[in-house]
Amino acid sequence: MTGRLVLGGGVAWLAAIMLFAAALQYSAQGRHFSSSTPVSAFARLLNVDNDGRRLPSWAVITATGAHHALVVEVEADDASAALLIAPQIVARVQDRYQEVLIYVRQQGARDRYAAHRVQWTPTGGYRELVIH
């Protein structure tokens, strides 16, 4: 019985590590956004300031966290403002995550892919990648 539990746990960890590695590899590519409506309660919480007011120039569409990493998808009036948007998101989650990847898409763009990605880590700070 114990052997099966250990084997099952090992398989589960291996699957989780493989999924995380695939997600990181996928994160280096342009991201596709499916909708401009937040799909989770966490994404909706990131869309308001500390006073509960909706942020006017950008909106978090999805926010997915696993294994101390968070991937956030944002639609913005100005995607080139990604480095100004990122700290507003990171400030709310930096105590829970070791890495935050923020994909910023131009609102109303004909293609549905992010134009900018900002990576944040506690040791590396903010790094922007312009995706074209």
Q: What is the pLDDT of residues 50-97, one digit of tens each?
A: 565 666 688 888 888 888 999 999 998 888 999 999 999 998 888 999
Longest dimension (CA), the chain: 57
Cα dihedral: 11, 12, 18, 22 (round 10): 150
Residue 21 confidence (pLDDT) above 90: no
Residue 33 confidence (pLDDT) above 50: no
Judge whether 115 and 130 are in contact, CB under 8 Å: yes
pLDDT for position 34: 42
Predicted TM-score (pTM) above 0.75: no
Domain 2-130 has CATH 3.40.50: no
Cα dihedral: 73, 55, 97, 31 (round 10): 10
Domain boundaries, the chain: 2-130
